[in-house]
Amino acid sequence: GEEPVQSGGGSVPAGGLMTLTCEVLKYAAGDNCVAWFRRNSGSAFEGVGGIFTESGDTYTGNSVQGRFSVSQDGAKKTVYLHMNILKPEDTAIYYCATSNCFVERGQAHATPSYWGQGTQVTVAS
């Protein structure tokens, strides 16, 4: 398969922390990053962060800045989303995706290619 394989997720109390894992199997032509997205029930996708594969530079979305971070292993095949000080509004299905990313005027843009299967994160108040 080409799609990343995600692991992690589940339920966590508010204020807690959780790390999601994304194992990258293949990048599409033009992909230069791995991006994380989430979708709340009834909402559109929201970008939460990403990492440029070669440089290791990362970005995080405004709503999670200071609480979430992204890292990758040395082989650049596994990407992590580290989530801290979780809030009930962080409850969502989280997806990773190999993507083409660029940053313009301080804003990151990601065009996804291969999507992970998604994993539910539930933050209990």
- The whole-angstrom separation of Cα 21 and Cα 40 is 19
**44: pLDDT strictly greater than 80:** no
What mean pLDDT comes out for the span 84-90? 96
The average pLDDT across 27-36 equals 97
Measure the CA–CA gap between 58 and 26, rounded to whole angstroms. Answer: 20
